[in-house]
Structure 1
Amino acid sequence: MTTSSASRRLDHEVLELLRGTLSDVAQHTIAAVREEVPAYGEGLGDQLAATIEQAVQMALAGFLRVASSTTDPGTPLTPTLEGAYALGRGEARAGRSADALLSAYRVGARVSWRELSATAVAAGVPAQAVASFAELVFAYIDELSAASVAGHTDELETSGRVRQRYLDQVAAGLLRGESPESLAPDVERADWKPPRTLTAVLLPEAQVRPVLGLVPSGALVPSEHGLPEEGLAAVLVPDMEGRSRTRLLRVLTDRHAVVGPARPWPEVRASFDRAVRALPLRRTASTVDTDQNLPALVVNADPEALADLRAVALAPLADVRPSTAEKLEATLRSWLLHQGRREDVAADLFVHPQTVRYRMNQLRELYGDRLEDPDTVLALTLALA
């Protein structure tokens, strides 16, 4: 069925009669949509309802222009399609789904056809012409709804990209240590609700998408993170304290991740920095929980300082044979950790208690009274940790 064949069956008088009903048809269409489609119910508001009613009138007027054409334009008029596209974008911005929009079109098509066909029949239009008219109406509605869905999709994709750009700026600003006040504009534009805390998680890039599907919404993924290793990414996960942290660690099992401490969201840089310092603790695919590795992090915070400390604290062993020095170091470490309990030291080293006694006598000869000095004990504890 072409537009020209339909128009030959709708004479000028009938078309003028149909034009005269557009305002009423538009009002009845809006009323039906508000009643039958929950997303367009009472919360729609009078101003927006009037805007949509005007759009319906424009669409119907566009249809009648098509119906009165003496040629076959193939598609509805471009301005009407552009209006439908703009309507779709507006509905996406308003937070209504494409399903709601299509439901509104279905209801609108039914009501519009019922009233327009009643007018055409009353005007004496033959049955065959009314059937052709129906085909034209629904083909027109299909094209309008397709244009609106395209607008809805494009708006979501565009707004999604824009929002992601602002989220990236928030994440980058947090890792630069910017204040909440300086981040506020991007936070607002990204429509991001700051959580109580953020926890920095470092993990392979290939694990980011699977993990994002398992953690709460609102997680940030900095696009620029300055990690010291290629192939690593950072995820800033919201509100992961207490039991939530336990669940996070479970989610990250065998993902070769490092989890920083939970920190108030403006201070997530501290969580990120600690996770970076803990990267050398990764030995297997298991996740490293920095909260469970605080002694190692403290001791290894300054590798050069630790090397200097070891050199000073273990200087008395410098002239001892390497194999003997290694055994004495192990014995001294265990002695310090077990607070001098010989039986516990022996069990720890799998040696006889008399062996422990012999080695400790050697150490006392090398260190003298310094093994009783608290500062020396502290230095040795750190050096041998």
Structure 2
Amino acid sequence: MNGRRTRSHDLPDHRLWRSAPANVAKLLRPGLAQVAHQVIEEITARIPEYARPADTNYIKAIRLAVDEALRQFVDRIENPNAPWEPDVFRTIGRGEANEGRNLDPLQTAMRLGARVAWRRLTEQSEQLGLTPQHLYDLGEAIFVYLDQLADAAAEGFEEARARAAGEIERRRHRLMDLLLSQPAASPDAIVELAKTAGWRLPKTVAGVALEEHPGGYRPPSLPPDVLAGLDRPGPCLIVPDPDGPGQAQTLEKGLRGWKAAVGPAVPLAAAATSLRWAREALDLHRRGVLTEQRGLLRCSDHMATLIVFKDEELVTALTKVRLAPLAHLRPSQQDRLAETLLAWLRHGRGAGEVAARLHVHPQTVRYRLRQLEELYGDQLSDPDVRFELEIVLRARQSAAAGTA
């Protein structure tokens, strides 16, 4: 087997072609030019897509197709074993695809051509020496032949469609490369490539970082305007106008089953920056620092944590300075006082509110706060120190969640 689907009409029924007298082909050939002219007139008059009298190249192409179809039909009558030459008709199918049409006009044209040929045969049947049985067999042969022409055209059509789709896909991959390049690519180059890739330039985009999946995993189901780089070293997407109506829900649905982080919406030129933030968020999720029970991880919901963890060495150095007063305590004491201090900084300085947040007795909070005042002294009155303390305590809390 060669893998090609076999049709019942791939090979001619020799009985149909052998039915006609041997001299019919010789009698038909002198009149083929006139039949071709009638066929072309019928097609251009009745099918608007083919009515292009000013386009001489197009008319020549139609003439070539009709001449070839008639020639091969008569050759088959003369020699039922004559080789089938489908290349011209595959080319016609490719042309239909390149013109942006479906195959309906072409199939209509083929039926019109067959009708004209059949009418000519019946008109000349007495002159050609054709009996009713001959006409019946040749009529059936015309339908078989028509199927062969249609199949060849369909093959060319699908080849062109596949080639065009592959070319568009290559251009979109190249466009993604340009959008994510550092330094940024020329805006003119992006505009030109977007046009040839059929991608409308959006006002804003968001980069989406995807967790890698083993082969065979269901690919995302995404709208055609989303640029996908699933085969890149770090799988990713570029989503146009991410804050547009319904975009969030569409993305959630399309990425169901995937773990993904969505970067902030940025101008087109900053697509690489949005994706970088998304990848950092996804990395923090892997480490357990950022948690999202369901759905997508959105950078816009975790900007403070992302900023804090942007330079962990700097945060570590600041942590040593600001948490130095707690360094001599036991780890369990450090944890309790750090938790109380963060709640106090975040939720106000009332012992009752802090106690409610921590689910402990207010008297316990007051005791811990007195300990903190003894350890920190006047530092807790300095707004800059309080700000830096909240940064390091939030980082400490996130890091602890990641190692839990």
| Same fold (TM > 0.5) | yes
- In the alignment, which of 2, 5, 25 is matched to residue 39 of structure 2? 25
Q: What SS does the corresponding residue of 2:228 show, helix, strand or coil?
A: coil
- In the alignment, which of 170, 181, 188 is matched to residue 188 of structure 2? 181
Matched with 1:260 is 263
Give the letter for the 1:16 counterpart. P
Q: Which runs of 5+ in 2 are unaligned?
A: 1-14, 395-404
Give the letter for the 1:276 counterpart. R
Over 3 Å counting, the alpha-carbon distance change for 1:179 and 1:340 in structure 2 is farther
- In the alignment, which of 8, 30, 35 is matched to residue 16 of structure 1? 30
Q: Which runs of 5+ in 1 are unaligned?
A: 35-39, 228-232
Alignment of 1:77-88 (within 5 A): 78=85, 81-88=86-93
Q: 2:127 aligned with 1:109, yes or no?
A: no
Give the letter for the 1:181 counterpart. D
Deviates more, 1:113-122 or 1:174-183: 113-122
Cα drift, residue 191 of structure 1: 2.7
CA displacement 1:131-187 (0-9 Å, x = unmatched): 232233222222221111111011111121122111111112211132322334432
Give the letter for the 2:240 counterpart. P
Matched with 1:270 is 273
Matched with 1:290 is 299
Equivalent residues of 2:348, 2:354 under 8 A apart? no
Hey, what's the Cα distance between the residues in 2 that align with 1:150 and 1:189?
A: 25
Matched with 1:191 is 198
TM-score (norm 2): 0.81
Over 3 Å counting, the alpha-carbon distance change for 1:242 and 1:189 in structure 2 is closer
Cα drift, residue 93 of structure 1: 0.8
Equivalent residues of 2:107, 2:150 under 8 A apart? yes
Hey, what's the Cα distance between the residues in 1 that align with 2:131 and 2:300?
A: 82
Q: What SS does the corresponding residue of 1:301 show, helix, strand or coil?
A: helix
Q: What SS does the corresponding residue of 1:237 show, helix, strand or coil?
A: strand
CA displacement 1:92-138 (0-9 Å, x = unmatched): 11111234433443343334323443344565532222223223322
- In the alignment, which of 143, 148, 159 is matched to residue 143 of structure 1? 148
Equivalent residues of 2:25, 2:74 under 8 A apart? no
Deviates more, 1:330-339 or 1:18-27: 18-27
Matched with 1:73 is 81
CA displacement 1:66-114 (0-9 Å, x = unmatched): 1563x333443x2xx2111111111111111234433443343334323
Hey, what's the Cα distance between the residues in 1 that align with 2:267 and 2:219?
A: 22
CA displacement 1:296-316 (0-9 Å, x = unmatched): 111111111111111111011
Q: 2:125 aligned with 1:125, yes or no?
A: no
CA RMSD of aligned residues (A): 2.8
CA displacement 1:227-257 (0-9 Å, x = unmatched): 3xxxxx2121222215434324542455322
Cα drift, residue 327 of structure 1: 0.9
Alignment of 1:1-385 (within 5 A): 1=15, 3-6=17-20, 8=22, 10=24, 12-34=26-48, 40=49, 46-47=54-55, 50-51=59-60, 53-67=62-76, 69=78, 71-76=79-84, 78=85, 81-120=86-125, 125-176=130-181, 177-204=184-211, 212-213=220-221, 215-222=222-229, 225-227=232-234, 233-248=235-250, 250-251=252-253, 252=255, 255-279=258-282, 280-281=284-285, 283=291, 284=293, 286-385=295-394
Equivalent residues of 1:30, 1:49 under 8 A apart? no
Q: Percent identity?
A: 30
Matched with 1:37 is none
TM-score (norm 1): 0.85
Q: How many residues align?
A: 369
Over 3 Å counting, the alpha-carbon distance change for 1:206 and 1:328 in structure 2 is closer
Deviates more, 1:368-377 or 1:91-100: 91-100
Hey, what's the Cα distance between the residues in 2 that align with 1:130 and 1:292?
A: 78
Equivalent residues of 2:35, 2:116 under 8 A apart? no
